[in-house]
Amino acid sequence: MRWVVVLLLVAAGCPTPSQYREVRPGLACDRATRVAYRTMTELGYTVTELVPGTVGSDGSITGTKTKRDGTPTTGRVRIECTAEGATLVPIEDSIAPDYEFSRAFGYSFKELVKQPDVQAPRAEMGLEVSVKALSPQESTLDLGGPATVGGAVPVRVTIRNHTDRAVAIDPKRIDLVTPAGDPTSPLAGGALDAALAPGAAGARVRKEQLSGRRIPPRTTVEAFLVYPPGTYREAQIGIEDVETGETEGFVARVQ
């Protein structure tokens, strides 16, 4: 019986010391999950599992990365939510931890929670274009679930027109480029229908799909496109000046 007790204790792991628990009164569970996700990615982890927390139901985030010495490691954070706030509990990947992960997570979380979830525009003049490919975990955070099936890539396109002139955008002029340099057009028609997941997330991407439109001066447009499965490094975008009819090309890094 003693051996059984020892094995159970080892399997359960050691309780996380209180100094490594991030207790955040007043922090909404949804935002706690978002900041925890950003913290894991900032620390270099590839998030492999994300379960959003809710009041009365713990959430969790799990990620993996390779250390400098080439050994793999796993980081996990439990997100405990109540009506009063959220508590984030780092869980070490060791039965005899040195709490390196817990310390790094706590430090980064404290800094990131001070920042807004959506960064302010970097420029206050000209055109600013950003292209964000949503991972399955980011789709869960931002859209409430998977937006696509079969590996199709949902992309959020944001265009900020800081100029005094109207511009026009056409999704046919937004190609994503693979690492091999091959341009890829967004899905449309039956291919798009087949790529969208059933449920609220897929319906939202369909409803907020980027269409050909005019963007007035001092206006921001944010919408979605869906691309075939793949890895993309940059976007090639053509934006037309409505008054002159001239098209200007932009290259944006795919985030």
CATH number reported for the structural domain that contains residue 169 in this entry: 2.60.40
Q: How far is CA 138 from CA 18, 38, 191, 236, 255, in A?
A: 29, 10, 23, 23, 12
Provide CB contacts within 8 A for 222, sequence distance 6+.
Answer: 156, 157, 158, 159, 208
- On whether both 89 and 158 belong to a single domain, the answer is no
> Where residue 20 sits, what CATH number does that domain have?
3.30.310.80
Residue 105 belongs to some domain of the structure: yes
- On whether both 107 and 151 belong to a single domain, the answer is no
- On whether both 80 and 151 belong to a single domain, the answer is no
Q: What is the pLDDT of residue 240?
A: 87
Residue 10 belongs to some domain of the structure: no
Residue 11 belongs to some domain of the structure: no
Q: What is the pLDDT of residue 2?
A: 46
Residue 220, domain extent: 127-253
- On whether both 218 and 141 belong to a single domain, the answer is yes
Residue 9 belongs to some domain of the structure: no
**Side-chain-side CA neighbours of residue 125 (13 Å):** 0
- On whether both 106 and 219 belong to a single domain, the answer is no
Q: How is 220-231 classified by DSSP, letter by letter?
A: EEEEEEEE-SS-
Q: What is the pLDDT of residue 6?
A: 42
- On whether both 98 and 176 belong to a single domain, the answer is no
Residue 46 belongs to some domain of the structure: yes
Task: Give dist(CA 80, CA 33) in Å, integer.
Answer: 10
**Side-chain-side CA neighbours of residue 124 (13 Å):** 1
> CB–CB of 178/230 below 8 Å?
yes
Task: Give dist(CA 20, CA 117) in Å, integer.
Answer: 23
- On whether both 104 and 131 belong to a single domain, the answer is no
Q: Which of 112, 139, 171 is the last residue of a domain?
A: 112
- On whether both 102 and 131 belong to a single domain, the answer is no
> CB–CB of 47/61 below 8 Å?
yes
- On whether both 71 and 142 belong to a single domain, the answer is no
- On whether both 166 and 222 belong to a single domain, the answer is yes
Taking the chain (255 residues) in runs of 10, the rounded mean pLDDT of each run is 42 62 89 91 90 88 89 91 91 79 91 74 67 92 92 93 89 91 93 94 94 90 94 90 83 85
Scan for tokens 């190609």, then name that residue. Answer: 175
Split into its structural domains, the chain has a count of: 2
pTM of the model: 0.73
Provide CB contacts within 8 A for 94, sequence distance 6+.
Answer: none
- On whether both 162 and 244 belong to a single domain, the answer is yes
